[in-house]
Structure 1
Amino acid sequence: MERSEIFDIAHLRHPIAAPVAPQRLRELVGWLRPSDGARAVDLGCGEGEWLQELLLTYPGITGVGIDHMLPASAVRRAGERRLSDRVRWVETDAATWDDGAFDVVLCVGASHAFGGLKDMLVAVRRHLRPGGQALIGDSIWESPPSASALAALEVSADAYPDLAGFVRAIREHGFEPSYGHVSTLAEWDDYQFSWSGSLVDWAVREASTTEDRDQALAVAREHLEAWLSGARRELGFATFVLHDAAAAGARD
C-alpha cells in the first residue's frame, strides 16, 4: 500500500488528525471571527476536518484545502456536509503553492511540510492578509526528551520546542496568541489508539490481500509501540489562535 492510503485508513475514526478532541476543535475555531465573504486556507489540510469545521461554524466564508496527498475521505465528508460549493481542494506542495492573501490561515500538524516550525510561521505570514487570524498547531516537548523518546520518534532533541519556546517563536514572527490549548494525555491516547486501531480493524475486516493485511498490521504495531514505549508523556502538542500583531502595531 502507498503511504497516503495507510494514513487515510489510520485517520478513518479520527479525521481531526491531531491529538485534539472534537469539543476542543470547536472551541479553537470559535475564537476565529471571519466576516462574511472571508477566504480561508488550510496549509497541509490532511483529512480536511479543521477547514470543514471552520466552514460549518461560519456559513458566510469559503475555503481552500492544500495537501500533497488529499484523501478521498476529505472530499466525501465535505459532500455529505453540503460544503462542496464552498471548498476547493488542491493536491500540491503546500510549501510552494500560492494564491494570494487569505483572511484566515490554518496549519495544524503540518510544519514538516515547510521544514519546521519557524518556516511554517513564515508561510502562514506569507499567506495571511494584514490583520487576519491564524490557527496553528505543532508538536512540543512536554519535558526534556529521553533517549527512548528520541529513538522512537527518530528525531533530535531540537526538533521541537517546549511550550514557552513555541510562544516565543510565534511572537518573533509578528503574531500574538489570543487562545491556546495543550493537548491532554487523554487526547493523545485517543488519537494514537484510534490511529493504530483503525489500521488493525481494516486489516482484519477489509484487507483484500495477505500482503496488505500484514503491512497494515506491521505499521499499526510499530506506531503504537513507539508511542507506548517512547514518546508517551514526553511528546506534546499545542494549538494556538493567532492575531496579526504586526498589522495591529502598524495601525497604532
Structure 2
Amino acid sequence: MNHEQLSAIAHTHHPVKAPLDDESVRRLLEQGLPRGDERILDLGCGGGEWLLRALEAHPRLHAEGVDISPDALDLARRNALRRGVGDRLALHHRSAGEFSSPHAFDLVLSVGASHAFGGLLPTLAAAREHLAPGGRVLIGDGFWDREPSPEAVEMLGDFADLATTVDRVVAEGWTPVYGHVSTRAELDAYEWACWGTIASWALDHPDDPDSAQALETAAARRSEWLHVYRDTFGFLTLLLRRTAD
C-alpha cells in the first residue's frame, strides 16, 4: 500500500488534512472570505476539503486547486459533484510550485503543505505570486510548543517556536489579521482519527494483502506521536495580508 492510499484511508473521518476541527475551519474561511464572491486558490489542495467547504458556504465563489496526486484530485472532483459545487471548481494536476494562472486570486490557501515548497517562508513567497492586490493568504504550518528532542526535529522538521514563527512571517512583509493555534483537543483528535482509521481498516480487512502493513503503520505512527512529538508539536494557521506592496 503506497503513501497516497494510506493517506486516503487515514483521512476518511477527518477530511481536512490538518489538526483543525470543523468550527475552526469555518471561522478561518469566514474571516478569509469577507465578501463571499472571491476567487480562491489552494496550493496543495489534496482532496479539496477547504475549497469544498468554502464553495458550499458561498454560492458566488469560484475556486481552483492544485495538487500532484491524481487520486486526491479525483476524490475532490467526485465530492464536488456530489455536493453540488462542481461547476465552480477547477482542479489542476501539477506541482504547486510550477502552477501559473492568467488571473490573480483574492484568497490563496496552503494549509499543511509547506513541505511542497521547502518551508513556511518559501510557501508564502509562492502564494504571493498568485495574490490579487488587497488579497489574503491562509497558511497553516507547525511550530514547536516546547523544546523538541532531536528525534522530533528529524521526524517533523526544523520548526521555530510560536513567537519566532510569527516574527519571521511579519519580517517578510506580512501582517496577521487573524489566526488560530490548534488546541490540544484538535491535535489529539487529528492523530487518533488518522491512525485509528488505518487500524480499523486493517482489522476490517484481514484478508487484504495490505492489511498487515497497514496495521503495522498505524501502530508505528501512533507510537511516534505519543513518544516523540505529542508534547512538543503545535500547529498555527494564519490569515495574512501584505503590509506593503
- TM-score, normalised relative to structure 2: 0.93
Deviates more, 1:167-176 or 1:228-237: 167-176
Give the superposition deviation at 1:154.
5.5
> Does residue 74 of structure 1 match 2:73?
no
Q: 1:107 aligns with which of 107, 110, 117?
A: 110
1:133-154 per-position Cα deviation (integer Å, ceiling 9, x unaligned): 1111000000111234335x26
Question: What is the alpha-carbon distance in structure 2 between the residues aligned to residue 86 and residue 117 of structure 1?
Answer: 29
Q: CA deviation at 1:126?
A: 0.9
Q: What amino acid is aligned across from residue 87 of structure 2 in structure 1?
A: D
For residue 122 of structure 1, the aligned residue among 120, 125, 137 is 125
For the residues of structure 2 that align with 1:45 and 1:9, how far apart are their CA atoms? 17
The 5 A counterparts of 1:128-167 are 128-150=131-153, 153=155, 155=157, 159-167=158-166
Aligned residues: 242
Match of 2:24 in 1: 24
CA distance in 2, matches of 1:69, 1:36: 28
Alignment-derived partner of residue 168 in structure 2: 169
Shift of 1:36: 5.6
Aligned residue in 2 for 1:39? 39
Distance 1:206 1:15 in 2: 21
For 2:151 and 2:4, the matched residues in 1 are separated by: 27
Amino acid corresponding to residue 82 of structure 2 in structure 1? E
Shift of 1:196: 0.5
Aligned position for 1:238: 236
Cα drift, residue 35 of structure 1: 3.9
Aligned to 2:177: 178
Structure 1 length-normalised TM: 0.90
1:179 deviation in Å? 0.8
Q: Using the alignment, how far apart are the partners of 2:167 and 2:56 within structure 1?
A: 32
CA distance in 2, matches of 1:51, 1:119: 22
- Gaps in structure 1 of 5+ consecutive residues: 248-252
> How far has the Cα of 1:207 moved from its partner?
6.3
Kindly state the Cα deviation for residue 209 of structure 1 after the two structures are TM-superposed: 2.4
RMSD, aligned CA: 1.7
Q: Which runs of 5+ in 2 are unaligned?
A: none
- Is structure 2 residue 214 aligned with structure 1 residue 188? no
Structure 1 residues 32 and 161: CA distance shift in structure 2, 3 A: same
- Counterpart of 1:91, as a letter, is H
**Number of the residue aligned with 1:222:** 220
Equivalence for 2:199: 200
Q: Secondary structure at the match of 1:119?
A: helix
- Among the aligned pairs, what percent are the same residue? 39
The whole-number CA distance in structure 2 between the counterparts of 1:237 and 1:145 is 14
Aligned to 1:88: 90
- C-alpha separation between the residues in 1 aligned to 2:174 and 2:153? 30
1:243, CA displacement in angstroms? 1.7
